[in-house]
Amino acid sequence: MLGACDFTLLRNFYSDFMVTANPEFEVEEGFESRYKAEVQCIRRENGLYVIQLSIADDNEEGTAWAYSYQIQGFAYLKLVDAAIHDQDHRESATAYGIQVLFGSIREQLTLMTARGPWKDAGVNLDLCDLRPIMKDLTERWAREAKEA
């Protein structure tokens, strides 16, 4: 598997970044932020990979939540070594792209909610465990390769 140094980050941006404060929230209620993440990786020509990471709160109905959020980010990565452009490096590109996107989303979300009406209940996303995400993706890619 390739490492982060084998890719160049061409672009990193958010297409959606929505944060909503809950006016009914009481700080005394306690607060735990859970989220769900979805990832897509699109392999383009000439060693270009587009990684899409969507993160949204996983607030259960009827539970106390200070903020609701829905974020979608994209990372455009290019393989550094032109000699391996014809090979499929989606797994490496996805692992690197998730880290770049998750870090920037986490930082922005923390900054936005730290200054909100409930600064003591700001959202600080726990670290993202890549193992289940990558397992699901590699299984899906294997199914797609069989069907092709």
pLDDT digits (tens, 9 = 90+) for 43-98: 888 889 999 999 999 887 767 788 889 999 999 999 888 777 677 788 888 888 99
Angle, in degrees to the nearest 10, between helices 90-114 and 130-147: 140
Quote the pTM value. Answer: 0.82
pLDDT digits (tens, 9 = 90+) for 23-42: 877 776 556 677 888 999 98
What is the set of domains in the chain, with CATH numbers?
4-147 (3.10.420.10)
Do the Cβ atoms of 49 and 77 come closer than 8 Å? yes
